[in-house]
Structure 1
Amino acid sequence: MDHLVFIMQTSFPSAYDAPALVAYKGAYSLLTEDGEVLHLSAQDVRQNLQNMPCPLVIHAPALARRLDLPPPGQPAPWLDLLELFAFVHPATPVAPTPRGLALALGMQDEDIGAAEADLLPRLLSLLLTNLARQNNGTTAEHLAALTVRLGQAGWIWSSTVAETLGLHDKLTPQGRLPETMLQPGDALRIWRFLPKWEETPLPPPPASHPISPVDAREQLTKMLGEDAEIRAGQADFASVATGAFEPRNVRGDPAIVLAEAGTGTGKTLGYIAPASLWAERNKGAVWVSTYTRHLQRQIEQETRRLYPDQATHRQRVVLRKGRENYLCLLNMEEAVNTAASRPAGITIALIMLARWGLATADGDLFGGDLPGWFGDLFGQGNLIGVADRRGECIHGACAHYQHCFVEHSIRRAREADLVIANHALVMAQAAYAQAGMSDDADETDDPSAPSRYVFDEGHHLADAADSAFSAELSGLEAAELRRWLLGAEGRRSRARGLKRRLDDLVVGHPKLETPLEAALMAATALPAPGWSSRLGQEQADEPPPPEPPEDIGLFPLEPEAPQPVLENPTEVFLRLLRQQALARTQEGGKQHVYAALECDLHPLVPDLAEAGHLLARALTRLVEPLRTLVERLHARLEEDAETLDSTTRGRIEAMTRALRRRAISRLDAWIAMLSALDTPPEPDTTPSHVHFIRVERREKQRMGEQDVGLYRHWLDPTIPFAGIMAIPAQGMLITSATLRDQQTNEPDSDNAEQAWEAAEARTGANHFPSPPLRASLASPFDYARQTRAYIVTDIDNSSIVDLAAAFRTLFLASGGGGLGLFTAISRLRGVYDRIAPTLEENGLPLYAQHVDAMDNNTLVDIFRTEEHACLLGTDAMRDGVDVPGNALRLVAFERVPWPRPDILHRERRIHLSGGDPKSFDERIARLRLRQAFGRLIRRQSDRGVFVLLDRRTPTRLLSAFPEGVEVRRLGLADTARELAAFLADTERADQN
């Protein structure tokens, strides 16, 4: 079909005359085709939609959920302005609300008004004006080609976009784009237009010139500028942080600064000042690490104060994440090549990704500059399909290697001053470098490898280390390794398998073919497709649920054929693990039937030890030929040095690293874990590791296990953390607002030293040779004046009905701006379902983690933008929300955040509590309460209220709150009245 005919003769609606619809104060604001604004109920809207032309909306999937309508499809059959925004302004995150979109398009508050339906035509006009401005040069060719392809796929906006771009003037008489212009199919092949990186010599090692406190203060002053808010203690923090940049005197003994900086100190800029100055003077990078991707972006935004010029900032600051976060161009190419056979919605998603891929700063799909609502509009599976989620990267063997976003970031990081990473990546990189398994072939011997580190959110180091250094021998993990080794095994899948990746490298080389074939044969000992369905088949009361699909979105699978039941050694072992877990765990009471089940590894049920020995032998038969294969591939690099071209050499190096990381290291860990079957823990001794069995189960599927496995965790995970950091790190700053637990607010009490010792143990600082330099900077806030705190005494928080009533009452009393924190997802969802309609009716939109199909960054952006919105969340919201101003004026916590009473915690409570398990639990709870309270006040002008809905809260936990905060115990009604009065007084004071 001719492009012109397809675009211009479709039945797509005219966006200019379309009605508009937005959710508004519990009802809906509708702008009719006649220009009348109506306020309708949900029922009225549902009836009107049947006879209404496609309306203008914002975030169609969310609107459909509010209207209790079926998902509108991807993309929606409505004129969703977010879809148009994604095309006009790719790589521009925006809060997906009318107000958020208006602010992103430059409108002022007075022009936005109440953000009713009549705002949407103005937003449409702004978007099309901005689109028209881009219609020049090479951008015009890309816009034209992508618009034609979108029209062919049936995108609802294509005719409006084509008209705005004046496509009828560009097309040939035959209705096609001229051959001299970029063609639609070529426009999707974005790797052809991306910049290449060129290999450069490794930079020399950095010098070791120290940074004086005076220098750090001067750098901080330069960064802040004349108009910045003065924060007491920030300059002191910058001075203290210089201790982490002192030259190291003994190998393996880094200089460590342990600095607690109270909320509002301004610690981010406080450490960026000396870190950037050290990097500049010594020509080396400082790695700044935090706990989550969301916090990485927050830190990156702060660095723009230091480097306001965009080009300079890109050169000096690099954000690093794991490969699975980035757009994989090889996966993108596979998706483009199969687009013709895919549904139109997938094709539209692919085109939108292509539009974004040419505009993105770093190719980060998750938490980067791709809007967090993209997956909700165009399908989350489509994002996963183009990311390297299965470890399939072939590194130098990839045709797109020199365009690769990840490789770009690795090379930019070598020349950067500040590299912003997360704890998990830093630990993985350090461990891989020690073992010679780095992502970058040169990183192991890189003289410019990182030597100075800043660990922000240092109170999470133990959690990150626990994840990084634990091991899991589970059905899902073992089945994933089988897929990586054997590929699709006859099923429709993009899993390539080891033979396909290595075939041309080993063919004709018997020394390589033999171990490869032996390994592939031995890999059949891992769980075969359909293992989950067979796991408990003989005991289930009903047919088990199907195993989750291997691939989704861009790479869907056809239904899997039934597999014969074989005595697979891994499956036999897993079956016995499951038997032991079910036999030794209790269900009933208020425990959800889909909660994970755990039991100790010892004593073993009959036959489990023998099954473990058989599995260990099977895994040994797999790992040994893989090890031989790696050794002989390395040997080929030397033996065929004169004939190997650089591409082949790069492929061999990449594959040997991948084999060691993806398979050999994992198999070695599993074999070591199985040896624990013969060594039950000795009584009255402290083990180095904790072993236990866990059965993970699907929600709302009784006895529908999703996975079962044997788990191994370090009793103290900061031991391996210190072990891998001692050699590369010459200096480390570990900082947080909540490093210490203060059992009393008296700073000179007897427990002060104990609090510091506990902080050193929690961060691993006590495992380094020299003691750290300790520092504590108090918060500059006047909490007695700026806050109120309450414990509600007449609510039963075990009742979801009472809990929902409490949250509804508090959020209404605050007039929105409320953050509700939960210790369990099930209770969060239960409260959301019960209070959302009432809050909506009162003009307080409610959003929730684990309910709304958006990432945490987007939810926080909405919460920050919509001053009267409320947000429900769990741990990530407790630790990672930075919302200054009136948008956050209430934090309500559902209950005391006691540690989860699982086996791992039990063992740490016994062996790491210093003989006082009760205090161990209380310390964890106090630190979590401090983190939650810290969300409330972010600057001097903030005012807020903290409410704990747990009448059983022990008084000894109240020292978690800052000095000057009086915690009052009141009933719900009295709490709500005082809360409303305090916030009203604050608002009047601000107005005066």
Structure 2
Amino acid sequence: VFAPDGPLATKLVGYEDRPQQRELAEAIERTFADGGALVAEAGTGVGKSIAYAVPALAAAALGERVIISTHTLPLQDQLVRKDLPALQLALGSAVAVAVLKGRSNYLCPRRWQILRGSVTTREEARLVSKTLVWRTATESGDRAELNLMRGEGELWSRISANDESCDQRRCKRTPGTNCYLQRAREAAVDAGIVVVNHALLLQDARMRGALLPQAEYLVIDEAHRLEDVATDAFGLELHEPRLRRDLQRVAHSVAVTSALRDPARADPAERIRGEVERALERTTEVFDALGALLVPNAGPPEERMRITAGLRASDERWLPVELAGERLADAIAGIAFAAERIGNLGGDEDELAELEAGMAELASARRAITRGIHDPRSSDIVWLERDNDGALELHVAQTHLGRVIKEKLVDAHRAVVFTSATLAVAGSFDFALDRFGIREVAAEPLAVGSPFDHQRQALLLLPIDIELPGEDRFIEEAARLIEDVARALDGRTLVLFTSHATLRDAAARLGALESEGLAVLTQGIDGSRRALLERFTQGRAVLLGTQSFWEGVDLPGDILRCVVIARLPFSVPDDPLVQGRAERYEDPFAGFQLPQAALRLRQGFGRLIRTKTDYGAVVLLDRRVVTKDYGEVLLDSLPDARTEHLPLDRIAARVSAWCDRG
């Protein structure tokens, strides 16, 4: 297939012979044949999606199903709309391919009709109008086909198939409805290859295979993000505004009119409304008690706190939390008892479905109360924090998800492939094998390097005289360097930060660039991620971003010539999740925090070189990469770029000279 005169070379538009791609495809083919688990790192430019799609199509042609999971929806769409169709055309494959997303991505026609008949706001009218014509043309009902504005995106939940209130049987009896979610699931059952995202894959694992068809093989692309998604999928949270909405939803679903139509429902309906009122009061008590934990005897209030066994045993403020939590759990139990009585009586299907969906959310809240307050497991990490709006959230997460990933994913398939451009740390796969729980069962990990010539294409510059991060003049010196580089390159610079506070501080010092006609695009200030990237591609701009810009940003060619990394991407030391997971290791820093930072640094570096013709410079401003012993691990994890150590005042000129290639 990959031979110079093979079908890909002769029929696939833009195909290049890449030995690394061929090596990866052969390893995946062997894994499918032998069974087991393979961890495979493929550098940028290898074309790993083609490498795993070819053996996937071959397996599917023999009647065996393959599930391909990605972290991001754009990669999912790329596979379904571009890579797989092109391969099928080149190989003459007739394998059925289906894409399946989380239910909130699909329009629910029944809920759309309900909203259309009860529009009360301008925003609702705009969303109904925008979807009216689209409904008649769409085959998938996928919101990705719509360009929803921010407010419309929030309203989408009112018309999406996002919870158990969507009942396909009821839709079949409702004129003019067409359940897109059910159609997508039926297509997946009939498909040889099913493309999903990690969120749905792990939701299916949590629900014991209730969402996806069984498959012999599983390919997990962007596998470096799997643990993060698994943390959410197998975690619990108690969020005050969300809990209040869920309680009010249950009360609203038990309509007064239904009780008037059916007197037998009056008593349990009234009890639900009474219990909801009681639960709302108990919610206030719980979160007031939790909030008191964040107010120390001296000093300013804290934004987050890990709830440890020691705190539970010795802090006198914990007892009110336990008592209030018990009363709230009892109130939710009372609601559940009355809801079960109403369900047994039957009645209006829409009301019952809404009630069932609301009760499912309350059941999750009750589990969070149990695990977070009354009966935590020894493997749980529990913490309290405020969201961006100041509302309190109680979180429960598992310390180690390797066992879950192995049992729910690896053991459930004949063969599983974990692949990404960033899995190894200084050439070692130990960290990845531990995170996936497959150290004892995986085949020898595979690393296929990038086909790019980083020595020729990329220059890594390390300033020798800049202040250390956290010192008084660091931001001032960093901002001055960003200005100098941006002027030298006429923009074309991406600056990556590890905190929003540092980003805003730096942005405030770059006003001179604006007066010179260079746009300073700041995450969190100047628009959405998509809007910032679209504006950046128009040229004469500097883009300042934090976490979400360290990966998934693809700016090839002349658009981007320099990436400035302000600080080594270590996790915040007082992050409760980081603390809890690091404690598993004999040396928490070397075992957890350093490997995590190395992988993030590789992701940030990888924003620069996206094709064989790209070139540019990465400037790493954090001098600790040279002054600390651990710096060697970080540098050894990066591509083999040309590296130079220079004074700060010579960096911009060196970047300009390196990038001046006509």
TM-score, with length taken from structure 2: 0.85
- Answering whether residue 78 of structure 2 is matched by residue 303 of structure 1, we say no
CA distance in 1 between counterparts of 2:431 and 2:56 reads: 27
- Answering whether residue 104 of structure 2 is matched by residue 324 of structure 1, we say yes
Change (3 A) 1:391 1:217: farther
- Kept in 2, the 8 Å contact 1:718–1:764? The answer is yes
- Kept in 1, the 8 Å contact 2:243–2:362? The answer is no
What is the CA deviation profile of residues 940-987 of structure 1, one whole-angstrom value per residue up to 9, with x for unaligned ones?
Answer: 1111211112233333244345453243232333111111111113xx
Compute the displacement of 1:631 (Å).
Answer: 9.7
- Kept in 2, the 8 Å contact 1:295–1:880? The answer is no
Matches for 1:70-85 after TM superposition, within 5 Å: none
- Kept in 1, the 8 Å contact 2:452–2:612? The answer is yes
CA distance in 2 between counterparts of 1:217 and 1:609 reads: 72
Counterpart in the other structure of 2:578: 905
SS of 1:569's partner is helix
- Answering whether residue 364 of structure 2 is matched by residue 670 of structure 1, we say no
Counterpart in the other structure of 1:972: 648
Counterpart in the other structure of 2:53: 272
Matches for 1:932-943 after TM superposition, within 5 Å: 932-943=604-615
- Kept in 2, the 8 Å contact 1:294–1:880? The answer is no
Compute the displacement of 1:283 (Å).
Answer: 5.3
Counterpart in the other structure of 1:581: 294
- Answering whether residue 247 of structure 2 is matched by residue 482 of structure 1, we say yes
Matches for 1:28-43 after TM superposition, within 5 Å: none
SS of 1:690's partner is strand
CA distance in 2 between counterparts of 1:632 and 1:347 reads: 34
- Answering whether residue 577 of structure 2 is matched by residue 824 of structure 1, we say no
- Kept in 2, the 8 Å contact 1:461–1:718? The answer is no
TM-score, with length taken from structure 1: 0.59
SS of 1:765's partner is coil
Change (3 A) 1:771 1:283: closer
- Kept in 2, the 8 Å contact 1:470–1:711? The answer is yes
CA distance in 2 between counterparts of 1:505 and 1:263 reads: 65
- Kept in 2, the 8 Å contact 1:929–1:960? The answer is no
Task: Name structure 2 gaps, 5 residues minimum.
Answer: none
Counterpart in the other structure of 2:170: 397
What is the CA deviation profile of residues 196-254 of structure 1, one whole-angstrom value per residue up to 9, with x for unaligned ones?
Answer: xxxxxxxxxxxxxxxxxx79999983797264122231011111112443376xxxxxx
Query: Aligned-residue CA RMSD in angstroms?
Result: 3.8
CA distance in 2 between counterparts of 1:222 and 1:885 reads: 24
SS of 1:880's partner is coil
Compute the displacement of 1:794 (Å).
Answer: 4.3
Compute the displacement of 1:825 (Å).
Answer: 2.2
Counterpart in the other structure of 2:480: 805
What is the CA deviation profile of residues 532-579 of structure 1, one whole-angstrom value per residue up to 9, with x for unaligned ones?
Answer: xxxxxxxxxxxxxxxxxxxxxxxxxxxxxxxxxxxx333222212111
- Kept in 1, the 8 Å contact 2:615–2:659? The answer is yes
Matches for 1:711-722 after TM superposition, within 5 Å: 711-722=395-406
Matches for 1:459-608 after TM superposition, within 5 Å: 459-487=224-252, 497=253, 499-500=254-255, 507=262, 518-527=271-280, 568-583=281-296, 587=300, 596-601=303-308, 602-604=310-312, 605-606=315-316, 608=318
Counterpart in the other structure of 2:384: 693
Compute the displacement of 1:920 (Å).
Answer: 2.9
CA distance in 2 between counterparts of 1:463 and 1:278 reads: 29
SS of 2:558's partner is coil
Compute the displacement of 1:381 (Å).
Answer: 4.9
Counterpart in the other structure of 1:136: none
Counterpart in the other structure of 1:17: none
In the alignment, which of 363, 368, 374 is matched to residue 141 of structure 2? 363
What is the CA deviation profile of residues 375-430 of structure 1, one whole-angstrom value per residue up to 9, with x for unaligned ones?
Answer: 16x86555555446677545533437942333332222222333322211111122
CA distance in 2 between counterparts of 1:518 and 1:245 reads: 56
Counterpart in the other structure of 1:622: 332
CA distance in 2 between counterparts of 1:670 and 1:400 reads: 42
Paired positions, count: 645
In the alignment, which of 523, 535, 539 is matched to residue 849 of structure 1? 523
Change (3 A) 1:727 1:258: closer
Amino acid at match of 1:975: I
Relative contact order higher in (CA < 8 Å, ≥ 6 apart):
2
CA distance in 1 between counterparts of 2:618 and 2:138 reads: 39
- Kept in 1, the 8 Å contact 2:68–2:194? The answer is yes
Compute the displacement of 1:308 (Å).
Answer: 6.1
Change (3 A) 1:323 1:825: farther
SS of 1:716's partner is coil
Counterpart in the other structure of 1:289: 69
Change (3 A) 1:294 1:369: same
Counterpart in the other structure of 1:553: none
Compute the displacement of 1:759 (Å).
Answer: 1.6
Counterpart in the other structure of 1:534: none
- Answering whether residue 191 of structure 2 is matched by residue 416 of structure 1, we say yes
CA distance in 1 between counterparts of 2:98 and 2:67 reads: 10
- Answering whether residue 445 of structure 2 is matched by residue 737 of structure 1, we say no
CA distance in 2 between counterparts of 1:224 and 1:777 reads: 25
SS of 2:101's partner is coil
CA distance in 2 between counterparts of 1:219 and 1:925 reads: 41
In the alignment, which of 202, 205, 209 is matched to residue 427 of structure 1? 202
- Answering whether residue 319 of structure 2 is matched by residue 609 of structure 1, we say yes
Task: Name structure 1 gaps, 5 residues minimum.
Answer: 1-213, 249-254, 488-496, 528-567, 588-592, 638-643, 680-686, 699-705, 743-751
Change (3 A) 1:500 1:968: farther
Change (3 A) 1:673 1:583: same
Matches for 1:171-320 after TM superposition, within 5 Å: 221=8, 225=12, 227-246=14-33, 255-282=36-63, 284=65, 286-300=66-80, 301-307=82-88, 316-320=96-100
- Kept in 2, the 8 Å contact 1:581–1:695? The answer is no
CA distance in 2 between counterparts of 1:716 and 1:857 reads: 33
CA distance in 1 between counterparts of 2:443 and 2:156 reads: 43
What is the CA deviation profile of residues 268-326 of structure 1, one whole-angstrom value per residue up to 9, with x for unaligned ones?
Answer: 11111111221232153x222122233333444433422569xx99x944333323334
CA distance in 1 between counterparts of 2:256 and 2:196 reads: 30
Question: More helix per residue: 1 or 2?
Answer: 2
Change (3 A) 1:756 1:392: same
The alignment-based identity, stated in percent, is: 24
Change (3 A) 1:466 1:905: same
SS of 1:582's partner is coil
Compute the displacement of 1:933 (Å).
Answer: 1.2
CA distance in 1 between counterparts of 2:111 and 2:572 reads: 39
- Kept in 1, the 8 Å contact 2:41–2:420? The answer is yes
Compute the displacement of 1:904 (Å).
Answer: 2.1
SS of 1:524's partner is helix
What is the CA deviation profile of residues 132-191 of structure 1, one whole-angstrom value per residue up to 9, with x for unaligned ones?
Answer: xxxxxxxxxxxxxxxxxxxxxxxxxxxxxxxxxxxxxxxxxxxxxxxxxxxxxxxxxxxx
CA distance in 1 between counterparts of 2:454 and 2:509 reads: 33
Counterpart in the other structure of 2:131: 353
Compute the displacement of 1:801 (Å).
Answer: 4.1
CA distance in 2 between counterparts of 1:515 and 1:720 reads: 40
Compute the displacement of 1:835 (Å).
Answer: 3.0
CA distance in 1 between counterparts of 2:511 and 2:192 reads: 46
CA distance in 2 between counterparts of 1:405 and 1:585 reads: 56
Change (3 A) 1:714 1:381: closer
- Answering whether residue 430 of structure 2 is matched by residue 757 of structure 1, we say yes
Change (3 A) 1:260 1:525: farther
Change (3 A) 1:246 1:977: same
SS of 2:276's partner is helix
Change (3 A) 1:980 1:921: same
Counterpart in the other structure of 1:129: none
Amino acid at match of 2:598: R
Amino acid at match of 1:522: E
In the alignment, which of 393, 413, 421 is matched to residue 709 of structure 1? 393
CA distance in 2 between counterparts of 1:862 and 1:804 reads: 21
